[in-house]
Structure 1
Amino acid sequence: MASEVILETKNLTKGFKGFIAVNDVSLKVRRGSIHALIGPNGAGKTTFFNLLTKFLTPTAGSILYNGDDITALKPEQIAHRGVIRSFQISAVFPHLSVLENVRIGLQRALGTSYHFWKSERTLDQLNGRAMQLLAEVDLESFADTLTVDLPYGRKRALEIATTLAMEPELMLLDEPTQGMGHEDVHRVTELIRKVSAGRTILMVEHNMSVVSGICDRISVLQRGALLAEGNYEEVSNNPQVMEAYMGTTSGALEGAHG
């Protein structure tokens, strides 16, 4: 029987020449949840993500995924186990169509990424699944559009579709609404809620309205250490969290972008 916890870190630590970027973080992510990692700038959120995906090696501590210790695995081994970081595996081919970008994601999942010399007709078998993924992120009508011509918010949707092509069990979303206007924020927030069905999502996000709207649990980092955890109401009313974000215990977390 699958454990309730899909991802766990135990005393995870990363130091850079005397500077501790992630400091003894023990965190559990429940299977099927949307879990947010928040904190002021410089809190260690991106470093923590880089440790999870093994683009950085921990100084100390361990990472467990589905109960297995994955601390020593390589980035590609982590991805093969179903831990996929969105916007790292992104739509990196601006002059290919939206459909072609998703199809490349599917090729990666099939292990045929380097078969570019094959006839394009051999890739047509992937079109059906690619269109299903585009439908999942509301991009069917943009299938033949060059990626470079997509509006910014739609590019983020495409990046999510490309990530979904890798069949993630755990999606790591790194500031999915950064730099967006209100309309795009709302669209991508609803998209995250939609694609979370049957998956687990761990996301770094600055926009508190997004976090309050869709996240089941929130972990707050400050100076690399875990400051607080809980649901949005618990975290937003925590005096230590308000102090970290606002510099005062009298302000509210709502609207803080840190």
Structure 2
Amino acid sequence: MNHHANPILEVRGLTKEFKGFTAVSGVDLTVQRGTIHALIGPNGAGKTTCFNLLTKFLEPSAGSIVYNGRDITRESPAHIARRGIIRSFQISAVFPHLTVLENVRVGLQRKLGTAMHFWKSQSTLAPLNGRAMELLDEVGLADFAHTETVSLPYGRKRALEIATTLAMDPELMLLDEPTQGMGHEDVDRVTQLIKKVGAGRTILMVEHNMNVVSSIADRITVLQRGAILAEGPYEEVSRNPAVIEAYMGSADTELAGAH
């Protein structure tokens, strides 16, 4: 497949300098439509800063971000979200005392632009319940619909975050360390979930767990000290001597079949 067939996101020369420190340095990144693309690298490699630049939580010092052929480098975070670039933590399950269903409904309301109308009557919101249940079904949470979110197990909370992200109808979904802090069983479940919701969507994810990356990512970009060290399919990247060396000195990740 020609990797330049259908890019949804093209980042060129992306750079971010903080007082005398370059966090992201001249990053070129192309994300193909309909793929799962993983951003990996040792701690402090600039992965989160990259996400912050793509969603305009930070202004780049240099470089351009082109989404669906349109330059969005100067757009506001709200604009970028409206274009369909949605980052999971932006809409995490922030309402612990709402039920799981109600949390997803809030995501659907945001999509409709009625986010702050919490006082709306139940009858106005009822039409959203059907769609909310479909989304819960998609992430395996239908049985938890009426559970208060605060009492969900951790792994299920991450699944709920994915459901509320899906409620925003993302065209490009940014997942920030989706399996962080999870036990084996949850990691496996969430990995399968990402693979499932990734079908027909585009996902860019920052992820530490190499088992996750090797099993679901179509393409991997390795960052080190804010610059791209390697890019390609897992098989190729994991055999790259520079990548192996970068990871050898790093306790948080091992490349060869970690965890």
TM-score for both structures, normalised by structure 2 = 0.95
Asked whether 1:220 is paired with 2:222, we answer yes
Instruction: Provide the secondary structure at the position in 2 that maps to 1:87.
Output: helix
User: Is the 1:133–1:161 Cα contact (8 Å) retained in structure 2?
Assistant: yes
CA contact (8 A) 1:102 1:165 kept: yes
Within 5 A, what are the aligned runs for 1:77-92? 77-92=79-94
Among candidates 25, 28, 31, match of residue 27 of structure 2? 25
Please say if residues 10 and 26 of structure 1, whose CA atoms lie closer than 8 Å, have aligned partners that are also in contact: yes
Q: How many Å separate the matches in 2 of 1:117 and 1:83? A: 28
Corresponding residue for residue 121 of structure 1: 123
Q: Give 1:68's aligned residue.
A: 70
**What is the 5 A alignment of 1:231-250?**
231-247=233-249
The one-letter amino acid paired with 1:24 is: G
Residues in 2 aligned to 1:116 and 1:154: alpha-carbon distance in whole angstroms: 25
Give the root-mean-square deviation of aligned CA atoms: 1.4
Counterpart Cα distance in 2 of 1:242 and 1:51:
27
1:37 aligns with 2:39: yes
How many angstroms apart in 1 are the aligned matches of 2:193 and 2:171? 17
Distance 2:134 2:184 in 1: 27
Q: 1:193 aligns with which of 179, 195, 200?
A: 195
Shift, 1:256, TM fit: 5.0
Asked if the contact 1:39/1:221 (under 8 Å) is kept, the reply is yes
What's the offset of the Cα at 1:121? Answer: 2.1
Equivalent of residue 179 in structure 1, options 176, 181, 188:
181
- Identical positions, percent: 76
Pick from 156, 163, 169 the counterpart of residue 167 of structure 1.
Answer: 169
Give the Å deviation of 1:178.
0.2
Q: Is the 8 A contact 1:245 1:256 kept in 2?
A: no
Q: Distance in 1 between matches of 2:190 and 2:258?
A: 19
Matches of 1:170 and 1:116 in 2, distance apart? 27
Equivalent residue letter for 1:78: I
Structure 1 stretches (4+) deviating beyond 2 angstroms? none
**Counterpart check, 1:211 vs 2:213:** yes
| Aligned counterparts of 2:180 and 2:247: Cα–Cα separation in 1 | 18
1:53/1:85 contact within 8 Å kept: yes
Q: List alignment gaps of at least 5 residues for structure 2.
A: none
Alpha-carbon distance between aligned partners in 1 of 2:143 and 2:10, rounded to the nearest angstrom = 39
User: C-alpha separation between the residues in 1 aligned to 2:216 and 2:50?
Assistant: 21
- On the 8 A contact 2:219/2:233 being kept in 1, the answer is yes
Q: What is the identity, as a one-letter code, of the residue corresponding to 2:173?
A: M
**AA in 2 matched with 1:152:** Y
Deviation string 1:68-102 (CA, Å, 9 cap, x unpaired) is: 00000000100100000012211100000000000
For 1:144 and 1:117, the matched residues in 2 are separated by 20
Cα shift at 1:57:
0.2
Aligned to 1:95: 97
Q: Is the 8 A contact 2:211 2:258 kept in 1?
A: no
Indicate conservation of the 8 Å contact 1:221/1:227, yes or no: yes
Cα distance in 2 between the residues matched to 1:51 and 1:226: 16
After superposition, the C-alpha distances for 1:130-163 in whole angstroms (9 at most, x for unaligned) are 0000000010000000000100000000000000
